[in-house]
């Protein structure tokens, strides 16, 4: 894990950062249904899992900008930017109705990421342990698939405490609308390091990277 420290006085969002870390601690959350028709078809043609393909695209998008890789060291009150962030995915067990957290590693190489994530999933299926280990995985972001329904909105609240800047991403089942497959995706970011533009940009970049993968 590598990161660089950000000079908070020279940070391009310095004024906003101060306001939303001192005066008004809050997050920005947005849900949008993205068109995944091509990615679903591409996954079927190639005999690959749509879930892992989307997880790869999501991880690539969130690694593409420093704004999505921000972190906070509460011990020293420092703003940092990670060189890379990785997805924490969750495997649901039908028999126990519990989830096992899976710390997968991001790789910009599609084949390497796919093989790694697939192996992680198969390994997690053999476990029933629900233990998050954030201390040992500080640069992992939350990526959770809500497989039971195609929802319209979702909101995640974080209680007062130390600042948390990594993205929290959820997505649900895709559904057909007017001949297209639309999937709800929810992006939550801390307002100190992101605004509506940066949250909305995640969806635009997801669409761009899905198109690139499916070319």
Show the low-confidence residues of the chain (pLDDT under 70): 1, 159-161
How crowded is residue 183: how many other Cβ atoms within 10 Å of its Cβ? Answer: 22
Q: Are strands 86-93 and 180-190 parallel, antiparallel or unpaired?
A: unpaired
Q: Give the pLDDT confidence of 99-141 residue by residue, as tens digits.
A: 999 999 999 999 999 999 999 999 998 887 788 888 889 999 9
Predicted TM-score (pTM) of the model is 0.95
User: What is the rounded CA–CA span in Å between residue 185 and residue 202?
Assistant: 10
Tokens 């000079």, residue located: 7
Task: Please give the Cα distance from 98 to 16 (Å, whole number).
Answer: 39
Domains along the chain?
3-213 (3.30.559.10)
Give the pair of three-digit tokens for residue 193. Answer: 């390091």
Residue 176: beta bridge partners? Answer: 181
Q: What is the pLDDT of residue 160?
A: 64
Q: Rounded to an integer, what distance in angstroms lies between the CA atom of residue 214 and that of residue 41?
A: 9
Rounded Cα distance, 140 and 107, in Å: 13
Is the CB of residue 182 less than 8 Å from the CB of residue 174? Answer: yes
209/87 Cα distance (integer angstroms): 17
């Amino acid at each position: 894990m590598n990161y660089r420290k950000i000079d908070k006085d020279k940070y391009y969002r310095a004024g906003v950062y101060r306001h939303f870390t001192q005066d008004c601690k809050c997050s920005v959350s947005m849900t949008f249904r993205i068109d995944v028709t091509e990615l679903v078809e591409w996954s079927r043609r190639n005999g690959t899992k749509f879930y892992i393909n989307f997880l790869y695209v999501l991880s690539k998008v969130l690694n593409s900008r420093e704004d999505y890789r921000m972190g906070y060291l509460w011990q020293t009150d420092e703003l940092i930017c990670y060189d890379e962030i990785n997805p924490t995915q969750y495997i649901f067990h039908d028999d126990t109705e519990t989830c096992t957290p899976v710390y997968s590693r991001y790789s910009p190489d599609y084949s390497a990421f796919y093989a790694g994530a697939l192996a992680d999933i198969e390994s997690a299926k053999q476990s029933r342990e629900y233990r998050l280990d954030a201390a040992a995985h500080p640069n992992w972001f939350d990526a959770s698939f809500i497989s039971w329904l195609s929802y319209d909105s979702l909101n995640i609240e974080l209680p007062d405490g130390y600042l948390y800047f990594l993205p929290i991403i959820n997505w649900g089942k895709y559904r057909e609308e007017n001949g297209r497959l639309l999937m709800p995706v929810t992006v939550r970011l801390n307002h100190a390091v992101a605004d509506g533009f940066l949250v909305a940009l995640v969806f635009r970049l997801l669409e761009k990277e899905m198109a690139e993968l499916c070319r």
